[in-house]
Amino acid sequence: MNPVQETVLLYYPKKPKYLPKIKSIFVQLGIQFRILDAASTAQKIGYLTGRTGFEKSTSDVPFSKIPQSVLVMDHFSGVRMDVLFSYLKKAGIPSIDLKAIVTDTNADWTFFALYQEIAKEHARMHARRAIVTRIEESDFGCEGRPDGVIAMDHVYLRYEQESEEFCLMAEDEQLYADHIDENSTVLVTADGKILPL
């Protein structure tokens, strides 16, 4: 791959029926592209986009399946990004869940590490602020918590500017690590995760 040419990395958890149409758009716009499988997610972004100085990793790092569609762009101007998204929209291609731009910093990350970072940012962008009203820790009785069981707490919250309380479950250890306690202001993601502000 030519390291100065626009390059797209595209990942889908399941191969979509409109993939040939997407490939046709990339070819029409003169964009190099790679359709990634789950095994590719353990490779560095720099290697996958063809940047110089990056070699294929031969380590036996286990790869993780990604549950969302991801589009990563390298060497794109803002105008060319708009052109690409316009073509995809006109072709009726459903919106891709997560998008990212390659930088000199994240080129050294694995595709999976980049996915984790943009998924976290995406969740924060779509989260709502809430106040923790109380936390009820798990009660394992006099016998204590069995080995291997994760302590889950009932976390009661209310969204800012609202009075209705709701409850979510969260790992006790994670709440402690994130310094989340009663009266803390937190973010609640669309899938019910509690994140520190």
pLDDT at 192: 87
SS3 10: strand
**H/E segment holding residue 25:** helix 19-28
pLDDT at 141: 62
pTM of the model: 0.71
> Under a CB-based contact definition with an 8 Å cutoff, are residues 10 and 35 in contact?
yes
Q: Which domains does the chain have, with CATH numbers?
A: 7-125 (no CATH), 128-196 (2.40.50)
Give the Cα separation of 122 and 99 in Å (integer).
9
Match 């669309």 to its residue by tokens: 190
> Under a CB-based contact definition with an 8 Å cutoff, are residues 10 and 25 in contact?
no
From residue 81, alpha-carbon distances to 6, 22, 31, 104, 108 in Å are: 10, 15, 11, 18, 22
pLDDT at 106: 92
Return averaged pLDDT per consecutive 10 residues of the chain, 197 residues in all.
76 93 96 92 93 86 82 94 95 92 92 92 87 87 71 93 93 93 91 87
